[in-house]
Structures are given as C-alpha cells and as structure tokens.
C-alpha cells in the first residue's frame, strides 16, 4: 500500500493504538495455521502467538446518511513478533446503535492476514457513526472505525476552485469551502484538511466569490474585499505575508465592482474602470493594491493564466502583463505591469488557471495560448508545442469557457460541455489517465450543470437544482463528499458536496 505523509502518520498512529493490547495464545498446535481459528490439536503446544491488528482502510470516511461508504472497513491480523500475516483468523465487526449495517458481521482473514466488510451508514443525518473490529480469539485487540455523517448537501449560487480546494457562495450570501487547507484557504480558522464543506467564519455577507491557487476572496455589496488563505506573496492584500485562516479586509479604501483571483494575485475593478492588483505581480510582490491599468480603463476583468485580461471601456480586448524596462512604465518601478492589447483582437470570455489561457472570438470559436501543451490543453488534437494563440480543433463554437490547471472546457449554445487537456484523475469525465487532446463531450447522463469550476486535478459544478457536485482527484478531500483524504485517486462520476 502506498501512503502519503499524512496517511502514513495516521496509519502508524492507528497501528500503535490497536497493538497496545496483546494476547498470548497457548492453544495446542495442529494441522491448522498457528494462531488461527482452525485446526485440531495433534501434537505439542503451538508456539505462543502475540497478535496485532493493523488498520488497512476505511478509517477516514464520511458520507450521506443511509449510503454505502466508498471504501471497505479493512484490517490485517499479524504475529507481532515475526510480523507474519495470520490467515484464517476470525475478525468480528459490530456497528454501534444507529450506525447502520454491514455486509457481514465477521470475516476470515485471507493469506495476507486481511479481512474487510462494507459499511452502509444509518439513516440519521449529522454526527458520527461507529463500527468496532475485534479478534474473536482476542477480543481485547480492537479498533473503532468512525465515519462522519453529512447534515445535508451544498446548494449554491456560485462556485470557485483553487489548486486543491473549492468554495461555494450560498443563497444566504455565506460561503462554505472544502479541500486542502494548509494555508487556511478554507477560512474556518484552522489549517486542517476538510473533506466536507465547512463555513467560512467571521465573514461578512458576500455578493461575489473568487478563488486563487491557495487563497480565497469575497466582495461585499458595499464594494469591500475580504481575503483569506495563502499570503506568502501578499495575495490576501492586508499588507503582510502571513497566512490568514479567517477573512481579513484588504488594506484599501477603494470600492470595487468586481474582483478576480489568479494563482498568487488578486485584482479589483473600480466603477470608473481602474484596475488595482496585489500579490505576485510577476516579477514583483505587491503587498497592497497597486494601479496596474495606468489610465487604460476596463469594463470587465478575467484571469488568463499569469495575465489579467478583459474588455476595455473602448470595447477593445486588453490584457495586463509584466514587463521589465530600464526606465519603468508610466512612472512605475523598473519592473511593473503594463496594459497591452490581447493576443488577438476581438477576444472575450478569457479563462486560464496557471500557464495557459483561452478566450472566444466574436463567433464563439475558442483560441488558446500559453507556455506549454504537455496535456493537450490547447485542444489541437496533439501535444506539440506551439507559438501564439491557436484555434481549438473540432469546429465547435461556445458561449462560455471554464478553466482548470492545464485543462479547459467550453459550453455550447445547446448546453453541451466539451473539455480538453489534463485528465490524469478523471477531472474531464473520462477514464483516469485517458488522453484528451481535443474537445471531448463531458457527458454525465441526466446530470447537467449551470456553472463549472476547475482546480489542479478536480472539477466541480452547480447542477440545475443548485446542488454542487465534484469529480476527479480525491486528494486533500477536494471532492467535498467525505471521501478518503489519503493517496490520490480519481473519481469519474460526480458526487454531491456535503455539509458536515
């Protein structure tokens, strides 16, 4: 079994707990396996066997009440002296009152010493349910599996995803987030991974929600911006580089009508059309909002990879990008952002997570550009490197584009979604690892979405009934369905995001 750092630490902590109680078996030996439950005494006493039980899976799960948990409750029985697996040992599994039902109340260990059962949660929503595993011959050796039961599904009006976390804006104007939280990007006041959605604490009501790589921000009705999470590059905008596990107000008296979050930067658009940004404005780190439009005003903004792009007040497609000059730009520092024309005239609907970007021309055709095409993220039908904006293959026209890290999706006028690019963990709805180098229909049957948001290896969407679903990588709890936060795995079928 391959373990990441977090799972490995939990594995050995559990192992230590369940091996603390040991039992010496003095049963006579015979033709059966020493220490097992089978065999008829035919000779001298068997050697003393000291059992231990390792937890192999199913210890970090959660789900909706009444549903089958995705992973089996599994243990391994071993001789703690020789570390040899003990086959044919009976492991008893017992749910506590109200904790649902199991596929069996016992299981016999196989040649590897493994035994497992499947667990269907009880009908009560919320709280924690329990199953105890114990050895029939050594009932002192036991472990209690806990499963968190959701209190309900997340229903949202808007959605945004970062590298390994996502956030949803509810109809109440409150925000819930789930997934990775090492920098406090979930805003719940901790840095603990959350495989269920948790409320952002100490936050005002928000009208707009955006998420960068590992930070999140909200815009209030009065135009205030509040951010939380990773702040190493000052992307939170409070004048510091200290991570913020709860929302803090951006250090500015400016009133914004729109905000945008890139990988490590955040920008706001004022009513007159001026653009202010903070964070990693490559190659500079700007700790407080700085005017990057320098008199070129915008009516709308979007992130476009490492750039910021949008539509100017004059109707032209424009972008801001870094430049290094000897004399500076418009009186700015020698390294500064500047405003320029977009890579192609007439583009709109810009999207882009890290190194690549896409946009639509006036007819709805998609064009993509950026630094590499390793995963087919240009949608050309191949992974060959290219220079400059390229039309996406297939002749499709789109009404809206969405981005993830190294992948893109477009929605047609008929409501069909086509995606291309990185699909290692089924984030594009195809089998894990299937190469998707040209637009491919993302088809989930009767389930359709009004909005999408992609991360590094997971994808989420708001369904037509406002329920939020995610699919793709399970790592760091990025799917928000209570699934295992251990080694990375891919889920091709959308699962509803759940509230703890």
Q: Which residues contact 137 (CB under 8 A, 6 or more apart)?
A: 23, 25, 35, 37, 51, 89, 90
Question: Which of the residue ranges 221-235, 333-347, 445-459 would you say has the lowest mean pLDDT?
Answer: 333-347
359 within 8 A of 300, measured Cβ to Cβ: no
pLDDT band for 27, please (50, 70, 90 cuts).
very low
Provide the 3-class DSSP secondary structure of residue 484.
coil
Residue 125: is its pLDDT beyond 70?
yes
264 within 8 A of 310, measured Cβ to Cβ: no
Question: Which of the residue ranges 37-51, 200-214, 346-360, 484-498 would you say has the lowest mean pLDDT?
Answer: 37-51
**Residue-level pLDDT at 371:** 85
Parallel, antiparallel or unpaired: strands 165-169 and 244-249:
unpaired
**Residue-level pLDDT at 17:** 41
pLDDT band for 213, please (50, 70, 90 cuts).
very high
383 within 8 A of 370, measured Cβ to Cβ: no
Residue 41: is its pLDDT beyond 60?
no
Over residues 105-116, mean pLDDT: 98
Q: Distance between CA 153 and CA 91 in Å, rounded?
A: 35
Q: Does domain 152-499 have CATH number 3.40.50.300?
A: no
Q: Which residues pair with 56 in a beta bridge?
A: none
Over residues 110-115, mean pLDDT: 98
**Residue-level pLDDT at 334:** 45
Both tokens of 64, joined, read 């909706």
Is the preceding peptide bond at 67 cis, omega within 30 degrees of 0? no
Q: Distance between CA 416 and CA 442 in Å, rounded?
A: 8
Residue 7: is its pLDDT beyond 90?
no
Over residues 8-18, mean pLDDT: 40
| 450-462 pLDDT tens trace | 999 999 999 999 9
| 180-203 pLDDT tens trace | 999 999 999 999 999 999 999 999
Q: Which residues contact 53 (CB under 8 A, 6 or more apart)?
A: 18, 19, 75, 76, 77, 78, 91, 133, 135, 141, 142, 143
**Residue-level pLDDT at 353:** 87
pLDDT band for 59, please (50, 70, 90 cuts).
confident
**Residue-level pLDDT at 11:** 39
**Residue-level pLDDT at 322:** 64
Considering the domain delimited by 5-149, tell me its CATH architecture.
Answer: Sandwich (2.60)
Mean pLDDT over each residue of the chain, to the nearest integer: 88
Give the gyration radius of the chain's Cα atoms: 27
pLDDT band for 278, please (50, 70, 90 cuts).
very high
Q: What is the 3-state secondary structure (H, E, C) of 165-180?
A: EEEEECCCCCEEEEEC
pLDDT band for 312, please (50, 70, 90 cuts).
very high
Question: Which of the residue ranges 24-28, 91-95, 108-112, 450-454 would you say has the lowest mean pLDDT?
Answer: 24-28
147 within 8 A of 122, measured Cβ to Cβ: no
Both tokens of 9, joined, read 């630490």
Give the DSSP per-residue string, 155-221. B-SEEEE-SSEEEEE-TTS-EEEEE--TTSTT-SSS---EEEEEEPPS----SEEEE-SSEEEEE-T
Both tokens of 83, joined, read 């570390």
* Phi (first) and psi of residue 60, to 5 degrees: -135, 65
Over residues 469-486, mean pLDDT: 88
Q: Distance between CA 330 and CA 327 in Å, rounded?
A: 9
Of 375 and 337, more confident: 375
Of 87 and 285, more confident: 87
Over residues 263-291, mean pLDDT: 90
Q: Which of 9, 431, 352, 403 is nearest to 193 (CA)?
A: 9
**Global confidence as pTM:** 0.86
470 within 8 A of 425, measured Cβ to Cβ: no
Only one residue has tokens 């039992």, namely 23
Of 388 and 270, more confident: 270
Residue 205: is its pLDDT beyond 90?
yes
Domain positions in the chain = 5-149, 152-499
Residue 237: is its pLDDT beyond 60?
yes
399 within 8 A of 413, measured Cβ to Cβ: yes
pLDDT band for 323, please (50, 70, 90 cuts).
low
Q: What percent of the chain has pLDDT over 90?
A: 74
* Cβ atoms within 10 Å, residue 272: 9
**Residue-level pLDDT at 29:** 37
Both tokens of 410, joined, read 């477009």
**Residue-level pLDDT at 16:** 36
Residue 44: is its pLDDT beyond 80?
no
pLDDT band for 339, please (50, 70, 90 cuts).
confident
Residue 159: is its pLDDT beyond 50?
yes
Only one residue has tokens 């630094």, namely 371
Residue 275: is its pLDDT beyond 80?
yes
Over residues 433-453, mean pLDDT: 95
| 300-311 pLDDT tens trace | 999 998 889 999
Residue 335: is its pLDDT beyond 70?
no
């Amino acid at each position: 079994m391959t373990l990441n750092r977090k799972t490995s630490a939990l594995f050995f902590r559990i192992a230590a707990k369940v091996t603390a109680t040991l039992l010496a078996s003095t049963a006579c030996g015979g033709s059966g396996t020493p220490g097992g439950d089978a065999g008829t005494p035919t000779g001298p006493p068997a050697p003393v066997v000291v059992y231990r039980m390792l937890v192999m899976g199913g210890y970090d799960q959660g789900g909706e009440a009444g549903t089958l948990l995705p992973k089996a409750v599994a243990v391994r029985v071993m001789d703690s002296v020789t570390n040899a697996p003990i086959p044919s040992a009976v492991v008893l599994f017992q749910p506590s009152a109200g904790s649902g039902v199991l596929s069996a109340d016992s299981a016999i260990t196989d040649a590897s010493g493994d035994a497992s059962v499947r667990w269907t949660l009880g009908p009560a929503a919320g709280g924690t349910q329990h199953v105890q595993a114990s050895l029939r011959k050594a009932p002192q050796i036991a472990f209690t599996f806990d499963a968190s039961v959701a209190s309900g599904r997340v229903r949202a009006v808007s959605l945004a995803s970062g590298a390994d976390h996502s956030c949803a804006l509810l109809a109440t104007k409150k925000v819930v987030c789930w997934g990775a939280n090492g920098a406090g990007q979930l805003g719940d006041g901790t840095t603990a991974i959350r495989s269920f959605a948790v409320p952002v604490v100490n936050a005002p009501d928000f009208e707009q929600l955006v998420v960068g790589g590992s930070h999140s921000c909200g815009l209030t009705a009065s135009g205030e911006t509040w951010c939380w999470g990773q702040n190493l590059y000052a992307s939170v905008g409070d004048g510091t580089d200290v991570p913020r596990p709860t929302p803090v107000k951006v250090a500015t008296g400016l009133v914004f009508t729109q905000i945008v979050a890139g990988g490590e930067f955040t920008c706001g658009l004022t009513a007159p059309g001026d653009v202010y940004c903070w964070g990693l404005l490559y190659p500079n780190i700007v700790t407080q909002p700085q005017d990057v439009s320098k008199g070129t005003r915008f009516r709308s903004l979007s992130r476009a990879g490492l750039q910021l792009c949008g539509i100017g007040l004059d109707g032209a497609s424009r972008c801001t990008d870094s430049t290094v000059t000897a004399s500076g730009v418009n009186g700015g520092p020698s390294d500064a952002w500047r405003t320029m024309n977009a890579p192609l005239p007439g583009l709109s609907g810009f999207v882009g997570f890290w190194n690549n970007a896409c946009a639509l021309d006036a007819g709805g055709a998609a064009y993509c550009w950026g630094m590499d095409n390793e995963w087919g993220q240009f949608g050309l039908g191949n992974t060959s490197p290219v220079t400059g904006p390229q039309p996406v293959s297939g002749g499709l026209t789109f009404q809206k584009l969405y981005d993830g890290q190294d992948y893109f999706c477009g929605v047609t006028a008929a409501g069909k979604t086509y995606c291309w690019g990185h699909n290692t963990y089924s984030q594009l709805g195809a089998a894990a690892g299937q190469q998707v180098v040209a637009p491919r229909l993302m088809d989930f049957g009767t389930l359709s979405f009004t909005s999408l948001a992609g991360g590094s290896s997971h994808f989420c969407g708001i369904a037509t009934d406002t329920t939020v679903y995610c699919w793709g990588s399970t790592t760091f709890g990025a799917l928000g369905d209570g699934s295992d936060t251990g080694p990375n795995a891919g889920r091709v079928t959308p699962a509803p995001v759940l509230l703890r």
